[in-house]
């Protein structure tokens, strides 16, 4: 990854994000870093530190607020501001290890996911699994992500989904943020004392 951009720097892609409400960033993290995180999730699952109680994708390993992924949430925050042109607060991280046959029904996210990164960490076999979005014009867009690639999107505005997975395993991390100057700024840290803290039931 290149040096962290300054707060004043804004990518030309910010205009695309403002218009479309999404943008794909190839290589947001280096492939070797993506693999390191995928291996970490595999180890977490093997050691029983991941849940199988995800209501969106039942019986699929998932984790909320993992401390290593929360570090990534903080690290990538300046990059998300660079690509969106927004000042942001982090809210929480979430990750899944998808398995064959998994699907994600079309949905919009809750307020704490105003602006999100969906980051591919690794897949077996090496075949893309589209992440679909429906834009404000009713057109469907398939985000094709390989390890290290990211989709930045407004998940509370755009319906998104995945069709049944034909591969064996795909590790994905979701990093969520809110606009500091927007209507959901109170969702900072997902109402927790800080990043890496347990979820607060509300």
Q: In what order do the strands lie in the sheet with 169-179?
A: 22-25, 150-153, 115-124, 169-179, 88-99, 62-64
Which tens digit of pLDDT belongs to each residue from 18-66? 999 999 999 999 999 999 999 999 999 999 999 999 989 999 999 999 9
Which tens digit of pLDDT belongs to each residue from 137-170? 999 999 999 999 999 999 999 999 999 999 999 9
Is the pLDDT confidence value at 100 over 50? yes
Which tens digit of pLDDT belongs to each residue from 78-95? 999 999 999 999 999 999
Give the three-class secondary structure for 194: coil
DSSP labels, 40-68: HHHHHHHTT-SBS--SSSTTS-EEES-HH
Rounded distance between C-alpha atoms, residue 10 and residue 82, angstroms: 5
Q: Where are the domains of the chain?
A: 21-165+172-184
Residue with tokens 């720097």: 9
Rounded to two decimals, the pTM is 0.93
Q: Write down the CATH number for the domain with range 21-165+172-184.
A: 2.60.120.620
Question: Are 144 and 40 in contact, with CB atoms under 8 Å apart?
Answer: no
């Amino acid at each position: 990854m290149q040096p962290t951009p300054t707060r004043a720097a804004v990518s030309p892609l910010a205009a695309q994000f403002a218009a479309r409400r999404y943008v794909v960033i190839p290589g947001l993290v280096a492939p070797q870093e993506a693999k390191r995180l995928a291996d970490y999730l595999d180890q977490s699952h093997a050691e029983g530190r991941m849940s199988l109680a995800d209501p969106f994708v039942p019986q699929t390993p998932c984790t909320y607020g993992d401390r290593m992924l929360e570090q990534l949430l903080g690290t990538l925050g300046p990059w998300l501001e660079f690509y969106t042109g927004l000042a942001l607060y982090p809210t929480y991280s979430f990750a899944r290890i998808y398995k064959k046959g998994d699907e994600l029904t079309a949905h919009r996210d809750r307020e704490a996911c105003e602006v999100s990164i969906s980051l591919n960490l690794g897949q077996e076999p090496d075949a893309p699994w589209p992440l679909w979005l429906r834009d404000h014009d009713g057109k469907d867009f398939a985000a094709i992500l390989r390890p290290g690639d990211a989709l930045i999107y407004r998940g509370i505005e755009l319906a998104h989904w995945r069709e049944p997975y034909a591969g064996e395993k795909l590790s994905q991390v979701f990093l969520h943020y809110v606009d500091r100057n927007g209507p959901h700024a109170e969702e900072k840290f997902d109402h927790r004392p800080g990043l890496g803290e347990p979820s607060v039931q509300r």
